Each structure stands twice: as structure tokens, then as C-alpha cells.
Structure 1
């Protein structure tokens, strides 16, 4: 399904009320129709501000969290961005409107294939997809200006921190259970890493290895 002007206006209003004010982020959210990334039984709920199930036991994040994470990432037009957890492809599609190139990985080959098909359909040629263990990042393509992780780890993974360029930013959920997680922003400096806590969130766990689907 595709969204109506009223649905688009309501979703953008909701995102603004959650604290997203960056003009470029709002424009990217408006440019990407979430309904294209939600299939099956939950398609009619695509424009609600809530996470929804997708294939392989994963979820598509609620739009306001996608927007908040994107805003926290402070993406620039020339940035090279790594996304861990392609999922439906919704977040990568939004990032593609904000940066030079998006590298996105998922442990489920079928999700990557579906997302790639949607990127092709939308003409998003600056997204490169990989089926890979996201906890290791993509060392062959590092360093990255920005890294976004859409699954929760107990701590920021060392390999991802190492692949972040000095001056770069990583945004990810951390927590020891799926009930208690915090979205944090990590800035890499000449002297190490600075951490900011942003808000409580709930994401699927970051798992090692490849999925079976």
C-alpha cells in the first residue's frame, strides 16, 4: 500500500512531537513511504508509530525511533554510513537520502534480498547490501563516518568502534536484556570515545553468525 497525504502529515507530526526537528531528517522521512516496507497482515498498520513484525523474527522499528536515531547520527551529505541490521530496508532507505553511500548488512540472506529488490524498485543506487555477521562490521570497507546499529548489544562491539573514523559517530541500543535498553551515541575523538545516553528503547538482540533463512 502507499500512503495518503493525510497519513504522511500525521506521521510527520508525530515524529516532530517526539523531538525530531532536523529539517533534512524530516525531509528524508517524508521521502520514504514506510508502507512499501511492511507486508502481509500488518500492512494496514504501516503508518502507525509502532514497531511491526517482519520476516525472520525481526521487526521494522517505529518511525519516531528511526527518526530519532537518524537525527542523533548527524549524517552529512558526503558521509559513508554503515548500518548493522538491514531488516526491511526502511532505515537504509532513509539514510540514502542523507549521505553519499550506505553499506548495510544483515545476517538473514532473505531479508537482504528483499531489501535489495525494494532499493532497486525505488532507484536507490547508493545503498550496498551484504549478508554478513554484523557484529564484525565490514572491515574491508572501513573506516566509516557514521555507524548505525539496529539491534541491541550488551556493549558497543569492539570491531565496530575500531571501524569508526576519528570524528565519527555511532548510534546503537545497548542493554543486557530486551526489556532494559538505552539508545546511546558514541563519538570517536583523538583521545578515545565519548558516550551520550539518549533515551530508553527496545530492539531485537545483536546476534553473531548468519541466520538460517
Structure 2
């Protein structure tokens, strides 16, 4: 496989058509080696328009999102170089690596020990020094380190816990994929006041669940 041609095709055929047009984001995707964050057994899928399983058997929720989703979420956050970011769902560390190039500091939380080790190794090998990977239940966020300029949920949730929204600074943004199959929506939340939050639906999509986040109660009759 011609890796650079595959990367170029990924950007031009998958990512641009998904309204990712920010030149800084596109330039970052062109130099960030996505293939280095994909498990060796899945290397051929690094640039394919699909989710990439990160563990044997492709356990639900433990995958890299499609390149176009990662790129669109990154673009919509509009990060600044001075900002502090929390990610929930480190996975392979790739999204954290992208965030790190746009922000000052990134803390990424991962519940699965195997993926904590994978993300740490991948980020270290890539020479990215402004990301901290922690094993933790991301549904609780990280209140001791709050407030954050931005929070990214790298997976889907039924709803965004209020406790996470309250870990944003005034003016801070949280981006998440919210809902249930077959309808999920990438949504951008902005903290506009002490107890005030705005939200904008960005696009329809699908993503596997993040672990430990609450699900709606099911009623049976």
C-alpha cells in the first residue's frame, strides 16, 4: 500500500466531503500518522471509511471512529492553543494526539487497562508530550482538574451527564454523539453562564457506546 496516497485519498474522498474544510485541520490530518495508532492486526484499515476495532473480537465501544467523524468533531470544537481539554474514551490515543496539536494540554480518560497501555505507548512513540492518559470512569469526568475549555466524548451516549457540562468553563464547549440507534446526533454544547448551556445539533451519525454512561430506563408491560 502506498501510505501517503492512501492518506491523501482519505482526506480528499472521505473527510472533505463531510464539510471538513478548515485548512489547519486538513494540514494536521495530512501529517499525523493515523496508521501508527491502529493495532497491527488492523493496519490495512487505517485509512478506510469505517470504525477500526481496537481489541480482539471488536468489543462494542472499543474502536477508532471513522476518519471523517474524528476530523469533523475536531473542526467543530475550534480549539485554541492556550486551551485545556478533557477527552473521554482514549482508545488508541489518536484523537488525543489530534487534540494535542490544537490545544495546550489534553487529559484523556480510558476505562480499559489494555487501551490505557496502548494509548500511552502510541502517544509516546509519536513524541506527543502534552497528553496525559489516565485509567478512570469517564462518565464522572474529572472534577478535581476542572474547569476545562473543551470536553470531547469519543463515542456515543444516551445523554450528556449534567456533571460533565458543569466541568466546563464559561464559554467552554463539549462535543458528543447523543442518542440511540438508529438516530444519533453529534451535538455541540456551550456553557453560556453559571447554570446556562446552549446546544447545536451538527450532524446525524452513529457511534458505539462509551462505557459506564447511564442508559435510559426501559419500561416493559
Q: TM-score, normalised by structure 1?
A: 0.92
What's the offset of the Cα at 1:80? 0.4
Tell me, in whole angstroms, the C-alpha distance in 1 between the residues paired with 2:44 and 2:158: 34
Equivalent residue, structure 2, for 1:96: 100
Tell me, in whole angstroms, the C-alpha distance in 1 between the residues paired with 2:209 and 2:4: 35
Equivalent residue, structure 1, for 2:35: 35
Q: Describe the superposition over 1:140-169 as per-residue Cα deviations: whole angstroms up to 9, x where unpaired.
A: 111000000012222111121010110011
Could you tell me which runs of 5 or more consecutive residues in structure 1 were left unpaired when the two chains were aligned.
none
What's the offset of the Cα at 1:180? 2.2
Aligned counterpart for 1:111 among listed residues 92, 105, 115:
115
Tell me, in whole angstroms, the C-alpha distance in 1 between the residues paired with 2:17 and 2:205: 17
Does structure 2 conserve the Cα–Cα contact (< 8 Å) formed by 1:28 and 1:98?
Answer: no
Please say if 1:184 is aligned against 2:184: no
State the Cα RMSD in Å: 1.6
Equivalent residue, structure 2, for 1:79: 83
Tell me, in whole angstroms, the C-alpha distance in 2 between the residues paired with 1:41 and 1:207: 24
Aligned counterpart for 1:140 among listed residues 144, 158, 163:
144
Equivalent residue, structure 2, for 1:4: 3
Does structure 1 conserve the Cα–Cα contact (< 8 Å) formed by 2:92 and 2:122?
Answer: no
Equivalent residue, structure 2, for 1:163: 167
Q: Secondary structure, in 3 states, of the residue corresponding to 1:91? A: helix
Does structure 2 conserve the Cα–Cα contact (< 8 Å) formed by 1:178 and 1:204?
Answer: no
Equivalent residue, structure 2, for 1:195: 199
Does structure 2 conserve the Cα–Cα contact (< 8 Å) formed by 1:24 and 1:98?
Answer: no
Q: Describe the superposition over 1:158-200 as per-residue Cα deviations: whole angstroms up to 9, x where unpaired.
A: 121010110011100111x343211100011026111101111
Q: Describe the superposition over 1:83-130 as per-residue Cα deviations: whole angstroms up to 9, x where unpaired.
A: 000011111111111110110001111101111011111110000011
Q: Describe the superposition over 1:15-53 as per-residue Cα deviations: whole angstroms up to 9, x where unpaired.
A: 112100112211221221111122244211211122111
Could you tell me which runs of 5 or more consecutive residues in structure 2 were left unpaired when the two chains were aligned.
214-221
Q: Secondary structure, in 3 states, of the residue corresponding to 1:115? A: helix
35-44 or 80-89, which moves further after superposition?
A: 35-44
Tell me, in whole angstroms, the C-alpha distance in 1 between the residues paired with 2:162 and 2:110: 18
Does structure 2 conserve the Cα–Cα contact (< 8 Å) formed by 1:156 and 1:174?
Answer: yes
Q: TM-score, normalised by structure 2?
A: 0.89
